[in-house]
C-alpha cells in the first residue's frame, strides 16, 4: 500500500513539475520580487540602517529575511494551482481512478518544494553578486537548507489549506500577502530593539524572528543558542496544524 502511494505521488509530482517547466516564468516571478527588495534595501536604505554590528555587511544581515519572503511568494502558486485543479474537476477524475488520495496533495507540496528551492538558489546567487560574503561551513549551509525546507513545507501546507477553502482564484493566492509582510515586522531588516514597544513585543514573539536569527547565526558562523529550538518549535507546530487542516478539508471536499 505504501509503495502504491509513493508511486502515485511520484507520477502526479512529475505532472505538476511539467507544468512548472512549461511556464518557467513562475519561478522567475517568484525570485524577481525578493531580488528587487534586496536591491532596494541594500543600495538605497542599507547605508542608513544600523544593525548593531550583528553582521559584517547589511546584505549579510538581511539575506535570511529575503529567503523567507522568496518562499512566501512561491507558495502562493501552490494555492493557485490547487484551486484551478479543483475548479477544473481534475480531482474528481483522480477520485474515479485507482490513485492514492494522499498522492494528489503531496504532488502539489513536492512541486512547491522543488520550485522554491530553485527560486532560493537564484536569490542566493543574486545576493553573491550584490556583495554577499559568508564563511559558513558546509554543515552550516546544510542546517540552513534544512530549516528553509521545513519552512517551505509548513508554508506550503498552509497554501494547501487556502487552496482547498478559497471561493475565488484571487482568494486562493491572496493568503500569501500576510506571510510576505510578516518578515518586515521581525528582526529580518532591522534589530527589534529599534522598534516601538508593542511592535517590538510582536516582532520578538512571532515565528519569523527566531527563524531569521537562527539562519543569520548559521551564515555568520555564530552560536545559534536557544533560537534554533524556538524556530523548530514554531515550524513543526505550524506544519502539524496545517497538515491536519489540509487533510480534513480535502476529505470533506472529496466525500
Contact 176, 75 (CB under 8 A): yes
pLDDT (mean) for 75-80? 84
Where is pLDDT greater, at 99 or 39?
Answer: 39
Q: Give the model's confidence band at 202: pLDDT under 50 very low, under 70 low, under 90 confident, else very high.
A: very high
pLDDT (mean) for 81-86? 77
State residue 1's pLDDT score. 40
Closest alpha carbon to 63 in 133, 152, 127, 2: 127
- Joined together, the cell numbers standing for residue 231 give 524556530
pLDDT (mean) for 146-156? 96
Query: Nearest 5 degrees, angle CA 77-CA 81-CA 85?
Result: 170
- How many folded domains does the chain comprise? 1
- Joined together, the cell numbers standing for residue 254 give 472529496
State residue 93's pLDDT score. 60
Poorest-pLDDT segment among 82-91, 113-122, 232-241, 246-255: 82-91
The yes-or-no verdict on residue 98 having pLDDT over 60 is: no
Where is pLDDT greater, at 64 or 50?
Answer: 64
By residue range, what is the domain housing residue 200?
2-254
pLDDT (mean) for 97-119? 77
Burial of 120 (0-12, 13-18, 19+ CB in 10 A): buried
22-31 pLDDT tens trace: 666 667 777 8
According to DSSP, residue 46 is labeled G
pLDDT (mean) for 155-178? 84
Burial of 129 (0-12, 13-18, 19+ CB in 10 A): exposed
State residue 11's pLDDT score. 65
pTM for the model stands at 0.88
For residue 193, the number of C-alpha atoms closer than 13 Å in the C-beta half-sphere is 6
Amino acid at each position: 500500500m505504501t509503495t502504491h502511494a509513493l508511486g502515485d505521488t511520484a507520477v502526479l509530482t512529475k505532472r505538476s513539475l511539467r507544468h512548472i517547466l512549461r511556464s518557467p516564468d513562475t519561478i522567475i516571478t517568484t525570485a524577481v520580487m525578493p531580488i528587487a527588495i534586496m536591491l532596494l534595501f541594500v543600495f538605497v536604505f542599507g547605508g542608513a540602517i544600523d544593525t548593531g554590528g550583528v553582521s559584517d555587511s547589511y546584505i549579510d544581515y538581511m539575506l535570511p529575511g529575503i529567503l523567507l519572503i522568496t518562499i512566501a511568494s512561491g507558495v502562493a502558486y501552490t494555492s493557485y494551482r490547487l484551486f484551478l485543479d479543483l475548479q477544473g474537476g481534475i480531482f474528481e477524475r483522480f477520485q474515479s481512478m485507482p490513485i492514492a488520495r494522499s498522492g494528489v496533495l503531496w504532488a502539489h507540496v513536492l512541486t512547491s518544494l522543488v520550485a522554491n528551492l530553485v527560486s532560493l538558489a537564484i536569490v542566493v546567487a543574486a545576493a553573491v553578486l550584490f556583495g554577499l560574503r559568508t564563511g559558513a561551513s558546509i554543515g552550516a549551509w546544510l542546517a540552513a537548507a534544512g530549516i528553509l525546507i521545513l519552512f517551505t513545507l509548513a508554508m506550503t501546507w498552509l497554501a494547501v489549506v487556502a487552496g482547498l477553502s478559497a471561493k475565488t482564484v484571487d482568494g486562493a493566492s491572496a493568503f500569501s500577502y500576510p506571510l510576505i509582510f510578516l518578515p518586515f515586522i521581525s528582526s529580518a531588516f532591522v534589530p527589534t530593539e529599534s522598534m516601538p514597544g508593542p511592535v517590538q513585543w510582536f516582532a520578538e514573539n512571532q515565528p519569523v524572528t527566531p527563524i531569521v536569527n537562527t539562519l543569520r547565526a548559521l551564515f555568520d558562523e555564530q552560536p545559534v543558542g536557544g533560537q534554533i529550538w524556538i524556530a523548530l518549535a514554531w515550524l513543526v507546530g505550524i506544519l502539524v496544524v496545517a497538515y491536519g487542516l489540509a487533510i480534513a478539508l480535502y476529505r470533506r471536499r472529496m466525500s
